[in-house]
Amino acid sequence: MRVLVTGSAGFIGSHVVEALAARGHESVALDVREDGGDVRDPEVVADRLRGVDAVCHQAAMVGLGTGFADAPEYVSRNDLGTAVLLAAMAEAGVRRLVLAGSMVVYGEGAYACSRHGAVRPGPRTVADLDAGRFEPPCPRCGAALSPGLVGEDAPADPRNVYATTKLAQEHLAAAWARSTGGSAVSLRYHNVYGPRMPRDTPYAGVASFFRSSLARGEAPRVFEDGRQRRDFVHVRDVAAANVTALEAEAAPGALTAYNTGSGTPRTIADLAEALATACGGPRPTVTGEYRLGDVRHITADSARLRADLGWKPEVAFEEGVREFARS
């Protein structure tokens, strides 16, 4: 199979290219940093699509960013870029797409109240966050909630600009699939970490921030109380999920979403402690600070991806963190 990989020189895209080669597939690269191949340029995209069997769309502006002033750039890179790509695929007759989705489309994760069952709390207030009340209360009675695993059928509730653009990408891909009869798969990544993760940028992930602090001999700074739950999944496992999705039969005329996580919830403090141990650095500092727009808990139920496509993560958390600390 000949696969166009957008964002091919990026953190996840470069691992996808390697995983495709290991399975005997050919990659066609498109990356603005490596060769000036901007996915928003119709001529460039049309040229790269010649002779291609499928597209693995990884190119995106990621992370929470620095404020709402980033919104035009997020929309341009993520949504306009996806629209240009899909229009070119429709014209070229390429009918298979795997999209780098994200768990951020859910907003907060799954919660249960002892009195009211499954509930969806609204955004946390500044007053609560300033007071150190980080856990979202039951929206009906104000009681404490128990976090759980979120499934693909949970309603979307994006809480920041990046999340909104990732949901829009899925809507565009679904519209393309219906219009062309193509098949689209969105792999909703959870917290991906591993070698080649970007460093020292406000758009990087929390694992990168912690590692950079430790490399400077500083303690990782953990926001809130450190008990936020996430699902940390290794980049090689994510790359393998992309190749598995490209090789699998997919429903024509529709988009299918799959959570792509390790299936094991861990706290932000767990990650900071594990990295500090692996680096031999200072213990993390829990700051009580917060970022408006962050959610409290979001962890995946990846059972559908395992059942439908036979994918499962292979890199254990402890092994992956040790490798990441050295990378």
Cβ-based neighbour number of residue 43 at 10 Å: 8
Taking CA 174 as the corner, what is the angle to CA 239 and CA 7, rounded to the nearest 5 degrees?
Answer: 35
- C-alpha dist (Å) from residue 198 to 73, 109, 194, 209, 229: 19, 26, 10, 9, 22
CA-wise closest residue to 89 among 31, 175, 10: 175
Catalytic residues: 162
Q: How far apart are alpha carbons 173 and 224 in whole angstroms?
A: 36
